[in-house]
Copies of this chain bind each other. A is one copy, B any other.
């Protein structure tokens, strides 16, 4: 782990990242030493910094930190945290914050190949996502909703939980974004009131456009989810996981465009045994 460029694993307990969750993070797949979708992650991070009024970390510096932190030619997960840095007591942000940047390299998460091939089982979470347009889309450090959602189940056969907004619309998975296959079209929840705008979600939107697959960004009430032909989940590590069941309701995996799955797999940590 590297904090502000130095090998270190402890931070100032006055850091506003701890005091208030005043910061952002990125979770980046690394394949053979190469961070995947690096530019997209950096762009989202600097967008987030702008929205929180934080000076964005220097891109070259982050790249140097990343190169130093990633074990040579290895694959894994690079997590970057940027906070507003240390501060006094009180919510008021310092006029000239000195952000803290933390980079940590983790092993590739172990998921069976069946997650990609046969799809996963998901469940509907009870806890809802509060709606706040000022924070919606951001991958910020205020993640208690996700923590409580993930604490709702321990069954190892359930790989992900789906989350609804306070208004009742489907928004995302606890650690992923959600797509619906409706006939020959895709749909994904609008994230202007809550949710995390995933880098892989955007990648799917961009690739779908290239492949000529229409994709609507829209509100997704529960009924629409239940009537979809297929569902899939995305994030920067897994790429695409088909959903084969939500609380017992089955979905048809073969309705997910195979070409999209193949292309996305090139940008994620997919086991070599997975073939489409």
Contacts and interface: CB of A to CB of B under 8 A. Distances in A.
B148 A52 contact: yes
A98 to B, nearest CB: 16
A135 B143 contact: no
Contacts of A249: none
Contacts of A22: 143-144, 147
A251 to B, nearest CB: 24
A171 interface: no
Contacts of A9: 12-14
A20 B21 contact: yes
B127 A129 contact: no
Given A13-B102, A91-B147, A146-B91, A130 B141 contact: no
A89 interface: yes
Interface residues of A, number: 62
Given A91-B175, A150-B92, A175-B90, A1 B13 contact: yes
A104 interface: yes
A137 to B, nearest CB: 13
B17 A18 contact: yes
Contacts of A146: 20, 91
Nearest to A138: B144
A140 interface: yes
A142 interface: yes
A36 interface: no
A93 interface: yes
What number of copies of this chain does the assembly contain? 2
Contacts of A240: none
Contacts of A18: 11, 15, 17-18, 81, 83, 141
A151 to B, nearest CB: 5
Given A13-B3, A92-B150, A175-B90, A132 B141 contact: no
A81 B13 CA distance: 10
Contact of A130 (B16, B106, B131, B143): B131
B92 A141 contact: no
Contacts of A142: 20-21, 142-144
Contacts of A27: 89
B127 A130 contact: no
A5 to B, nearest CB: 14
Which are the 5 A-B pairs with shortest beta-carbon distances? A130-B130, A21-B21, A142-B142, A130-B132, A20-B143
